[in-house]
Amino acid sequence: MTARPERAPGSALPSGGAMRVMGSETEYGIHAPSAPGANATMMSARVIQAYAQVTRQRAAGGAETRWDYTDEEPLHDARGWTVERTSADPSQLTDQPPVLDAEAIAMAYGRDELDHDGDDESGSLLMNMVLGNGARLYVDHAHPEYSSPEVTNPRDAVAWDAAGDLVVLAAVRRLAADPTLPPINLYKNNTDNKSVSYGSHENYLMPRSVPFGDIVRGLTPFFVSRQIVCGAGRVGLGQDSSRPGYQISQRADFFEAEVGLETTIRRPIINTRDEPHATADKYRRLHVIIGDANLSQTSNYLKFGTTAMVLSLIEAGLAPKVEVHEPVAALQAVSHDTSLTATIRLLDGRRVTALDLQWMYHEAAAKLSQDAGVADAVDGDGHTHAVLERWAATLSQLDNNRDAAASSVEWLAKLSLLEGYRQRDGLNWDNARLGLIDLQWADIRPEKGLYHRLLSRNRMQRIVDGQAIARAVAEPPSDTRAYFRGRCVSSFSKDVVGASWDSVIFDVPGYGRLQRVPTREPLRGTEALTGGLFARHHEAAPFLAELLGLGTTPPPG
């Protein structure tokens, strides 16, 4: 057998398999049943404020700090240019903090509540925060968004993504307990079925040396077909759901381009945002916008695990040599075909199914990971073998045993539930009740959400248990820089005035100026490297002095 690859703390991850730095972003659907005309941005701000109140996250203590926008560069394009701000769509300007004026805040909260519960002395509303688990919670236009901390494997990606559901659930509970405020419901889905879609994004660290054209060629056929494994399912066809039916993906009908920088208009299959949040000449952050928001742990696990393995194939120059004719049309055709029998035309004239494409990628990934020595069940990297096994089992079930697949593949689990209602009550796909059932599937409240009902009855498979998810709400991952960020926020929040993916900013008495600690290497700042530092210091000044190599003495002011 090949020995399991070893690595020193902060060194590169084993290559050729499913391990890499990755993370998720989830924009939650939001609705106030008793106030249907309420401003969604103000409601989203209320969610952020509620979570701050739940955890007592104030500048004087707790586990919260403000987001630092200094290094945000949303208009850099991976193809080699930067879009002018004057020609960019406003939704692309994510390097600007969201703003609600005083009147809007008063309308959302009431002036008396703002006076007592505002975030700071100026009475501004908290809309953007870094959490003690290393995640970011903020208002992204008209939605509350949770961005998970960086992790190194698909299992942890599932845990810290699911932690976001518990974070926003706690906020919803807080709002529901206040009789003076209209309750707010949140949904882990991707469309309001009235022509509006909102994102569930993934991020993967890659070497900058990989040509972007290779990424496009290697990923496009994979993304066209990946939805059969990780689609969340949706009632209705077309962006506005005006045509009756059911489809595999919530997002497919909203994509209009093959490659591009936009995320909310002219959505591309391959997004070109070049914002690495890391050492720029060494890394790129692949920003994936085509995935659905998954409640199913298995679908989420395969979404991260298989994509990580395909990126390994691309880096090695071993991705399957297939090119899809008209990828956008093929993406939507696959989504509309729940029988999985529709064929996709390739540029070489062949016609293949989405299952065929997935098997091609699986075969190539299995060979590469075996050759690299990371796929063995005992002596591999600890993750790749499990991803390959579950990927193959899921594809086989989709081909031969759909009833078994319904306990793991989200779109099929939802379809099975909907078909039960259709048969029992004689409902056609254009019946409005089915749309409501679709929405209820995504409700984050366990007592209301249909997914959670199936999960409680063991009709949906788990990858991680509830205790692991609860820990992920409060604790950062131990093996990335998220550990340093989260521990700084939870241990020294009164002295941390800002943080981002690649920096933590301290304002400590005696230093005379702000101290920015860069965290540009995603595999530095781990527990192995900094855990002892946190254990030795309970105050920010000596912690920072040792970190900066100053002994126990701050620099002269």
For residue 310, give both structure tokens: 């395909």
For residue 448, give both structure tokens: 């209301």
Task: Report d(CA 180, CA 287) in Å as an integer.
Answer: 40
Cα-based distances in Å from 383 to 223, 344, 372, 377, 497 = 22, 31, 14, 9, 37
Task: Report d(CA 24, CA 55) in Å as an integer.
Answer: 22
Catalytic residue, from 68, 119, 140, 161: name it: 140
Task: Report d(CA 284, CA 207) in Å as an integer.
Answer: 6
Nearest-10 crossing angle of helices 212-230, 354-372 = 120
Query: Residue 278: how many CB atoms within 10 A of its CB?
Result: 22
What sign has the CA pseudo-torsion 191, 192, 193, 195?
negative
**140 belongs to the catalytic site:** yes
For residue 514, give both structure tokens: 């702000």
For residue 454, what is the enclosing H or E element?
A: helix 450-456
Give the residues across from 500 on adjacent strands: 503
Extended beta strands in 93-176, E state: 128-131, 136-140, 143-147
299 Cβ contact partners less than 8 Å away, ≥ 6 residues apart: 229, 230, 231, 232, 408, 409, 410, 411
Torsion angle of alpha carbons 362, 330, 158, 501, nearest 10°? 110
For residue 256, what is the enclosing H or E element?
A: strand 255-260
52 Cβ contact partners less than 8 Å away, ≥ 6 residues apart: 58, 64, 119, 126, 129
3-state secondary structure at position 388 = helix
Q: What is the DSSP string of 5-55?
A: PP--TTSPPPSSSS-S-EEEEEEPEEE-TT-TT--HHHHHHHHHHHHHHHT
Catalytic residue annotation: 140
